[in-house]
Amino acid sequence: MKKIFKNQIALALAGILAGTSAVAGTLVINGDTSDPAPKAAFQAVIDGFEAENPDVDVVYNLFDHEGYKAAIRNFLSADAPDIAFWYAGNRMAPFVEAGLFAPIDDVWADQGLYSLMASSAPGMTMDGKKWGIPYTYYNWGVYYRQDIFEDLGIAVPTNWDEFIAAGETLKANGITPITIGTKWLWTAGGVFDYLNLRTNGYDFHMALTSGDIAWTDDRVRATMANYQQLIDGGFFLENHAALSWQEALAPMANGEAAMYIMGNFAVAPLKELGLDDSTLGLFQFPEITPGIPMAEEAPTDTIHLTAGAKNVVDAKRFLAYAARPDVQTAWNKALGQLPTNAGAGVTDDKFLNQAFSMLNNDAPGGVAQFYDRDTKAEMASIGMEAFQEFMVKPERLEKILERLEKARQRLY
C-alpha cells in the first residue's frame, strides 16, 4: 500500500516535471481511473501502447475519481497534459467552448471511426467536429429478480400496462416493486430519463435536456403523470431519500424489492450480495407510448486531446490506439463494460451480451448519455433535486415544474 502511494507521488512529480519541460517522446495523460479495476485496465492499455511504440514514454497522472472533476478545470488551463479523461455529451461542452479541448477529426477519419463508432458519434460532436475518443460505455435498464418474477408467474413486462400489473402483483405479495436510493439524486434522473424517453421519445427528450422546451409543456406533464402513477401506486422503496444507491441494493438482494432501474455497474455489487445469473435478470424499460422508437441510456467515458498538448503527434497515436477494436475489446473486458467500437468483441457475460444486443438492435430511437450529462450542469442539479422532491411530495408538481421552467429560462 505504502509503495503504491510512493509510486503515485513519484508519478505525479514526474508529471509535473514532464509537463513543464516536455521532451519529445513523452506523453502526459491525466486520468481518474482510481478504482482498482479501471486502474489496472488502463495500465494495461498504457503497457500495450508502449510496447508497440518504444519511442514514446507515457506518464500517467492518476487522480482520485471525485477530485478529478475539480482538478481538470485547473490543469487544463494552467498546465495541460497531452490527453485527459472526461465524459461525452454536454459534460464536455464547457471545455470545448473554452477552447481547452482540441478537435481530432483526422484521427476519426484515419481509423474509420465515423462508421465504427457511429452510435457514440453524436455525443462526441460539437460545432460539427469530433472532440475525443469514446473508449467505453455502459447500459442502463431494469435489473430484476428473475427468480421472484418466475415464482409469482410474472412475465417480463413489455409495455406500461404489463409493468404496472407486474408491480401490483409484487405488492400483493408484500414485495416493493422498485428499489431506489435518491440520496445523491442522480438515480432519480435515470427514472425520469426513461419515463420521458418512453412517453415522448428521444428527440423530445434531447430537446428538453437542451433547454428548447418548456418544463411546463403538456408533454412533460404527461411524463410526470406516469411518474406520479408509480409514486402514488407505492412502487418505490420507502425512505429512498435517506438511502444511497448502494444502500438500496440490499432490499433487492434479500428479496424485499424486485426491480432496480440502474446502470450495469450495479451488477457486480449485487452479485457480491449473493445474486447470480439465475436470480438476477435484465429487461429493457417497457414501452409507454405505443409506436415511439425505443431509446436507451448509455453514458460514455472518453479521452480527449487537450488544446495545450505539447506532444500532439504521440497523443494522436495514443488516441488512435485507444480506438482500435482489439484494444477496446481487452480494455472493456477488464472494465466489465461495453466497447464503443462496433468492431470490438464483447466479453461473454449474460448482462453484457444482453445489453450489447439491446443497444445495437433494440434502441432505434437513439442513445442518451444520462440526465446530468445531457443537460447543462447547473440545470442538472436543480432538475435531479426536483425529481427527488417530486418522488416524496408529488402534490408539489406545479411548483416544481415552475421552478424548473424558471431555471431553464435563466440558463439557456
Residue 55 backbone dihedrals phi, psi, to 5 degrees: -80, -10
Q: Using CB under 8 A, which of 381, 394, 397, 405 touches other proteins?
A: 381
The mark string for 273-302 relative to other proteins (x by CB under 8 A, - otherwise) is ------------------------------
162/385 with CB nearer other proteins? 385
Q: Could you say whether residue 378 binds other proteins (CB under 8 A)?
A: yes
138 lies in the binding site for other proteins (CB under 8 A): no
- CB of residue 76 to other proteins, shortest distance in Å: 8
The verdict on 322 binding other proteins (CB under 8 A) reads: no
- Is residue 405 part of the contact set for other proteins (CB under 8 A)? no
Please state the closest distance from residue 20 (CB atom) to other proteins, in A.
21
Q: Does 388 bind other proteins (CB under 8 A)?
A: yes
Q: What is the 3-state secondary structure (H, E, C) of the chain?
A: CHHHHHHHHHHHHHHHHHHHCCCCCEEEEEECCCCHHHHHHHHHHHHHHHHHCCCCEEEEEECCHHHHHHHHHHHHHHCCCCEEEEECHHHHHHHHHCCCECCCHHHHHHCCHHHHCCCCHHHHEECCEECCEEEEECCEEEEEEHHHHHHCCCCCCCEHHHHHHHHHHHHHCCCEEECCCCCCCHHHHHHHHHHHHHHHCHHHHHHHHCCCCCCCCHHHHHHHHHHHHHHHCCCECCCHHHCCCCCCHHHHHCCCEEEEEEEHHHHHHHHHCCCCCCCEEEECCCECCCCCCCEEECCEEEEEEECCCCCHHHHHHHHHHHHCHHHHHHHHHHHCCECCCCCCCCCCCHHHHHHHHHHHHCCCCEEECCHHHHCCHHHHHHHHHHHHHHHHCHHHHHHHHHHHHHHHHHHC
| Binding-residue total with other proteins (CB under 8 A) | 32
Instruction: Choose between 202 and 390: whose C-beta lies nearer to other proteins.
Output: 390
What sign does the dihedral 206-210-214-220 (CA atoms) show?
positive
x/- contact string, 144-183, with other proteins (CB under 8 A)? --------------------------------------xx
What does the alpha-carbon distance between residue 316 and residue 104 come to, in Å, rounded to a whole number?
Answer: 8
Nearer to other proteins, 53 or 210 (CB): 210
- Closer CB to other proteins, 41 or 100, in the complex: 100
CB nearer to other proteins: pick between 118 and 242: 242
The verdict on 97 binding other proteins (CB under 8 A) reads yes
Is position 402 an interface residue for other proteins (rule: CB under 8 A)? no
**Which residue in 42, 63, 85, 95 binds other proteins (CB under 8 A)?**
95
386 binds other proteins (CB under 8 A): yes
Indicate whether 380 belongs to the interface with other proteins (CB under 8 A): yes
> Which residues in the 212-251 window bind other proteins by CB under 8 A?
238-243
Say if CB 120 and CB 136 are below 8 A apart: no
Closest distance of CB 377 from other proteins, Å? 4
Nearer to other proteins, 95 or 260 (CB): 95
Give the contact letters, 44-83, x = binds to other proteins (CB under 8 A), - = no.
-------------------------xx--x--xx------
Contact 64, 12 (CB under 8 A): no
Q: How far is the CB of 99 from other proteins (least distance, A)?
A: 9
Positions touching other proteins (CB under 8 A) are 69-70, 73, 76-77, 94-95, 97-98, 100, 182-185, 238-243, 372, 377-378, 380-381, 385-386, 388-389, 392, 403, 410
